Amino acid sequence: MNLTPYLVALALAFMAESMTEYVFASWIDWLAKKHPAVKEAQPLKYVALVVGVAFAFAYSLDLIAAMLGAVPNPPWVGVVLTGLAVGRGANYVHDFAKTYLGLQ
């Protein structure tokens, strides 16, 4: 079993979280001060999803194909699903780092 795709997905989830927080958090905080409804919408998680999909496309990463050998038709569907998982995984990586590693 080749672990490379899974390690890449984990690394991309970490990178998606890091880049989302570093690049977009201050802009969204600034916008939320002007428009309080922005904070309620939790836009950072949607930004993380977009970043995750972009990373999955950049690396042509399809975890379903890697796990099961099943390639969807069209093939980009697997990449989008993987990107959504990577983007959502970014929140889990952030929570893990905050809770168990004491990082802010």
Euclidean distance between CA atoms 87 and 82, whole angstroms: 9
Distance CA 63, CA 69 (A): 9
Q: Provide the residue range defining the domain that includes 43.
A: 4-100
Half-sphere exposure of 65 (CA within 13 A, CB side): 17
60-90 residue pLDDT tens: 999 888 888 888 889 899 999 999 989 887 6
- How many CA atoms lie within 13 Å of 80's alpha carbon, on the beta-carbon side? 6
Residue 96 has pLDDT above 90, yes or no: no
Number of domains making up the chain? 1
The encoded tokens of residue 4 equal: 């490379």
Report pTM: 0.78
